[in-house]
Structure 1
Amino acid sequence: MTLADLIAQARTALSTAITARQQEQDALMALRSDPNLTEEAVTARVATRDAADAEVTRRQEALDQLLAEQAREEEIAALAARSAPAATRAPAYDQVHRVGQEERTYRPDQDRRGAGFQGDVLGAFMGDYEAQARLARHMQEERTERGNQLRAVGTGAFAGLVIPQYLTEMYAPLARANRPFADACRPHTLPAQGMTVEISRVTTGSSVDNQAAENDAASETNMDDTALSVPVRTAAGQQTASRQSIERGAGVENVILDDLFRAYGSRLDNTLLNAATVGLTNVATAVAYTDATPTTAELYPKVIEGLSGVEAALLDQASGDNLAIMHSRRWYWMQNAMGSSYPLITQPGVVAQTLGANYAEAYGRGVRGILPNGTPVIVDNNIATNLGAGTNEDEIYLVDRQECHLWEDPDAPVYIRAEQAKAANLGVLLVVYGYYAFTFQRQPHARKIAGTGLITPTFTGA
């Protein structure tokens, strides 16, 4: 049996003695709470407890003796290693590091676990000059004693120690179009109940006319309205993740939710623009721009024509808070145009010699710039680019912001984390959903520029 085995047995015996002593102490405390307690019973129990206490002391002393013996054996082994004969051939005179009676920098007999060496490695990395000096001295000592054993190795020799580092905080999310136009619409709070929003639209108004003669009846036309029914829509998405991926992964649940939230925004915005019948592309009146070789200079008058139509449709309900919504490829194509002519009528905030201004805002951060007449531009890549006969056209929408209505729940989108539904598969179901409603038809007015002039742009400076 080895010394290590004896120490292990001594530790077990000490643990057993401590447990027995604690049991005796608990029994003594229980006896003292007995109302029928006698002095003889207490004396007997105290004696039993003291005997157990003495056994703990005896076992502790035995363990200490074994540990001291082990420490001495390790000292003897370290001394033997330092005084062992040199290798078959001693190092050359000029390769010897002569330290006289100095001890090694790191001594295993004083620090068996190498804590001092590890601490100096960390300290050297943090800029501790003294730690760096000790490490350098240690390496010189190693070269002196074991120079013929040291070899240069690469990271491939330590495949289990040189581990790859995953920069989880720098994960690349899926790029999405998100909701630039939706964020620019006039916001409303969605009512708490109902799946339809009803709006009254006056379709026949009163009449006023000049009185033909005194005492003649005033002009009268009976007003009439038509209900505009706006459906409440539900956008939802889900992702089932294994419990292992969530509990053993790094930020997996947050990555999934971020993607679901942005997918929700993209779907909502895409619906506003492209939904059948009620999407902006389907309610807007078209302004045709047909040209096989389009230029920005030719497109701009079409923009003015569209804005003219917006105001003509709204009359005294026009707020003047107009927007131009276009795809990013169209916005950059307009910026690439060069020319010597400029508008004859200047506009507030626009240099006369330019065709508008770019605000240099990032995508989805609001207004990207203004057109020559001061109309703000919203860039939205949910606008389709496969329109027209050649399936390569996009569109430009011109609207009054105050008549682009969007109702949303203030808490949307809502997040559901369901564990029971997939419990048998160790899965966690993550669901994101929200209710919303929208309309551009409270006051029909929207215009869109469409046609072959809006084919895939070529950036020629024209």
Structure 2
Amino acid sequence: MTLAELIAQARTALQTAITARQQEQDALVALRSEENLTEDQVRAAVERRDAADAEVTRRQEALAELEAEQAREEELAQLQARTVPAATRAPAYDQVHRVGQEERTYRPDLDRRGAMFERDVAAAFLGDYEARDRLARHMAEERTERGDQLQRAAGTGAFAGLVVPQYLTALYAPAAQANRPFADAIRHHDLPAQGMQVNISRVTTGSEVDNQAAENTEVAEQDMDDTNLPIPVQTAAGQQTLSRQSIERGAGVESVVLDDLFRRYNTNLDAKLLNQATTGLTNVATAVTYTDADPTAAELYPRVIEGLAGVEETLLDMASGDNLAVMHSRRWYWMQNALTDKWPVLSQPGIVAQTLGANYATSYGRGVRGILPNGTPVIVDNNVATNLGAGTNQDEVYLVDRQECHLWEDPDAPMYIRAEQAKASSLGVLMVVYGYFAYTHQRYAHARKVTGTGLVTPTFTGV
């Protein structure tokens, strides 16, 4: 790999790191605007932002080192050109007399594919002065031998082998992913270092307190009992085998593949939290049915409030009040399209009574997108399924207490394995991304979901 290619790869990695850092900063700003924040939430967000910031610094320093190395190489090349003895220095092409035919700068018999010429074109674009000199000599040779032809008004199409296309690798378009909006919004824990299962004790039979019937009589007593909640530690992983040629002769191929694997890892984890059989949110939430052949946003809202009431009814004094509404982007925009002359009877702090909530105008995946009329924050997550119900065209709206949706992740997840020996016989490099995680929404069976025919594919009619 050339120094220029390394610099291009470093620039791509720096841009990726800058984007990740900006996402963490935006998430922190959005988090600080929420009510009922805990210090742990803010501290965790700051740590993620600082880690992303440190990665930017590291990538920046790596790029600066490569650019300094390139500048030094160019400086030495210029110095060498100035210090070659006069007796051995090659005279300029147009400053000597020639007899016969001089050897061409680019000889077809030695380089039939024109690879030397193409490398010089690319190197000259990156500032290589020696490459520019060789190209200038080549053009002087062309004018000497084919001057009458070069004066004609030929376009670039006449020089398909000379007009070299440029590939804007820094602007490559990654495959779009739903990523992990819900996973980033719920309560996080560090996954224990050992074991493939974590357990939580749930008190299912509590003690009893009652008035004493009379003095010196037995007071109420009830033996407490608990039930174990086992939570499996799951392994998410993906792999990609690259040829050595693609890594060593491509521009930033390895970093592009890694970025895609990491983003697909995050999307898979978030989708499992919502949709996994038995334990996913859709399978543990209690249904609040909204059946309507002509649904409207104003009719959906009371079902949302019903679901939130069920969350608090289950949690009682364990309710944190830090509730979330989780929905697909199509449902969020459908709710925004509604127009009505009605508004809630009770006003809420910081919310205009005549509106059906507020949109924060933040982009997808950057935390809370807005609030409902009662102040409940909304997380928009396109891992929410849209093929539910008899017509396979329904989505769901989930209502949860943020503090009772638990996610355990390894602090270093996802991890990365780069194995060269395993595929050495075929000149392949195996890249594997993996991580361990565990989750539960069932410490208390509190979650609710609004579901039914009122949540079919929305039509944007203003109601």
Aligned to 1:368: 369
Aligned to 1:75: 97
Q: Secondary structure at the match of 2:97?
A: helix
Aligned to 1:310: 311
Distance 1:76 1:338, change over 3 A: closer
Q: TM-score, normalised by structure 1?
A: 0.70
Letter in structure 2 aligned against 1:378: I
Cα deviation, residue 157, structure 1: 2.0
Runs of 4+ in 1 over 6 A off after TM superposition: 70-73, 146-149
For 2:189 and 2:203, how far apart are their aligned partners in 1? 21
Letter in structure 1 aligned against 2:279: V
Cα deviation, residue 211, structure 1: 1.1
Cα deviation, residue 71, structure 1: 11
Deviation sequence 1:42-100 (CA, Å, 0-9, x none): xxxxxxxxxxxxxxxxxxxxx969x99x999943769xxxxxxxxxxxxxxxxxxxxxx
Aligned to 2:113: none
Aligned to 1:269: 270
For 1:362 and 1:217, how far apart are their aligned partners in 2? 62
For the pair 1:326 / 2:327, whether they are aligned, the reply is yes
Cα deviation, residue 443, structure 1: 1.3
Q: Percent identity?
A: 71
Cα deviation, residue 225, structure 1: 0.4
Alignment of 1:10-409 (within 5 A): 74-75=96-97, 115=133, 118=136, 150-409=151-410
Deviation sequence 1:207-232 (CA, Å, 0-9, x none): 00011111111100000001100000
Deviation sequence 1:150-194 (CA, Å, 0-9, x none): 211111222222111111111111111111000011000000000
For 1:442 and 1:147, how far apart are their aligned partners in 2? 85
For 1:248 and 1:294, how far apart are their aligned partners in 2? 56
Aligned to 1:445: 446
Unaligned runs of 5+ in 1: 1-62, 79-112, 122-141
Letter in structure 1 aligned against 2:97: E
Letter in structure 2 aligned against 1:152: A
Distance 1:214 1:416, change over 3 A: same
Deviation sequence 1:234-284 (CA, Å, 0-9, x none): 000000000100000010000110000001001100100011111000000
Cα deviation, residue 148, structure 1: 9.9
Cα deviation, residue 116, structure 1: 11
Q: TM-score, normalised by structure 2?
A: 0.70
Work out the number of aligned pairs and report it.
Answer: 340
For 1:154 and 1:411, how far apart are their aligned partners in 2? 55
Letter in structure 2 aligned against 1:253: E
Letter in structure 1 aligned against 2:197: T
Letter in structure 2 aligned against 1:316: D
Aligned to 2:422: 421
Q: Secondary structure at the match of 2:231?
A: strand
Distance 1:180 1:115, change over 3 A: closer
Cα deviation, residue 149, structure 1: 7.7
Unaligned runs of 5+ in 2: 1-85, 101-130
Letter in structure 2 aligned against 1:317: M
For 1:373 and 1:73, how far apart are their aligned partners in 2? 84
Distance 1:73 1:211, change over 3 A: closer
Distance 1:223 1:114, change over 3 A: closer
Distance 1:383 1:115, change over 3 A: closer
Letter in structure 2 aligned against 1:447: R
Distance 1:115 1:440, change over 3 A: closer
Aligned to 2:105: none
For 2:371 and 2:400, how far apart are their aligned partners in 1? 14
For 2:98 and 2:246, how far apart are their aligned partners in 1? 52
Which one has the largest radius of gyration? 1
For 2:461 and 2:283, how far apart are their aligned partners in 1? 32
Letter in structure 2 aligned against 1:156: G
Letter in structure 1 aligned against 2:389: G
Distance 1:290 1:240, change over 3 A: same
For 2:240 and 2:379, how far apart are their aligned partners in 1? 31
Cα deviation, residue 389, structure 1: 0.5
Letter in structure 2 aligned against 1:254: S
For 1:432 and 1:72, how far apart are their aligned partners in 2? 58
Q: Secondary structure at the match of 2:356?
A: coil
Letter in structure 1 aligned against 2:278: T
Q: Secondary structure at the match of 2:257?
A: helix
For 1:269 and 1:209, how far apart are their aligned partners in 2? 45
